Structure 1
Amino acid sequence: MTTAIARTTGAVAVVLVLAGIVSGCIDAAPADQNPATTGAERGSEQSPPRAGDGASKPTMPPQLAECGEGDDKSRTPELAAATWSTPAGFAQASGYSQIAPIAPTHTDWYLVPEEPGDGVEVIAVVHYEDVPARLSDECGVVDRQAVNHLLEQWRADAGVTVSDVVWTRVAGADAVQQTEQYPGRDFTVRTTVFVGTGELLTVSCQWTSRRELMVTGCEEFLASVRLEG
């Protein structure tokens, strides 16, 4: 998803896009609620069932059988453990905040060009730790339909217009990328949204006039992202 950010010093508004995420089965249940196989109890004097006794063969719960298949499907990574590197020519900055966060609980990081320009250029990284939506199934596979719905609802609430929306693979994981325009603002934001189980990680690259600089910096940043899962 996308989120906008505003510099607390006052003058110019900055946007952060959360990117926010995917389709598949609906949100993964907590690990302690996942179905588990149960073993048959062994009787001390029971004989093996004979043919014709009507005994059925033990079966594996369908959820577990399905989770063993589809290795080509993207599993949700542990976004809290994500790492990245600062692009050349950029430095960490403070004084920014989210204008339209996707969820109330989040942690933010901001990177700006070391050589300031006339506009407001920033790379915003936002981790949403507690997203109240089911974004993956019981096997941890991203539910793209659920992610699309969440982002569409966020865009409608924030009044954001998007284009070039595409599902892609970044750092070995499924991600949504989209270009965002905010009402009454003169900046453009290109956001990449990574989807986890109950969490999102968005990387938003915002610029007013220095598009080439920001696109290059954003590509370098995304190439450095490492995800565990």
Structure 2
Amino acid sequence: MTAGFQASLLDLDGEPGVGPLGAAVRRIPLTDGAWIDLRPGWLTGADSLFDRLSRDVPWHAERRHMYDRVVDVPRLLKFYDEDEPLPDPLLPEAMRALNEHYAGRPGAPFRTTGLCLYRDGRDSVAWHGDRIGRGAHEDTMVAIVSVGTPRPLLLRPRGGGHSLRHELGHGDLIVMGGSCQRTWDHSIPKLSRPTGPRISIQFRPRDVR
């Protein structure tokens, strides 16, 4: 179900930029060498960034094989390879800041940018790990910045188990690292209540999808 996008009352300065990382990042160890880092409200001017990306990104729909049929992917997509110009100057600024913070750590540096537009609560992504390419056998990192209406991101051990829930939106940052893509799964579930749109900005290393 669709609801209009409601800007955050905390994002009043309107000046786009990235906040500090360092001690502002909270590390949560998981199991089997996996971890996540959380930095709420990392981007300032996140609501105006949402508006620009909604307008300027050439979003497209995809269809994929699912079991014995072809189905619509329940979100809009755009992928930028490392040599492609990004659609907003705040995105390369964010990637540079992440690469400075995580320099020299396993899985760095970030090279590509993927964008997903969740138009309402009917859009979602099923349980998965980013295990195409190096993520299938190496420790990697995937950084996700959420702008727009907060949506829950769920994580659980691969194969099932108790799930963790984090509401992400309005410039929040989550980084999944260590063995997280191999040993844990994550998802954005469908919602039955009216929900506004959200854009997920994913920064990944080379050869990780």
Fold equivalence (TM over 0.5): no
From the two aligned structures, give the one with the greater strand fraction. 2
RCO higher in 1 or 2 (8 Å CA, sep ≥ 6)?
A: 1
Q: What TM-score do the two structures reach when normalised by structure 1? A: 0.34
Higher-Rg structure is 1
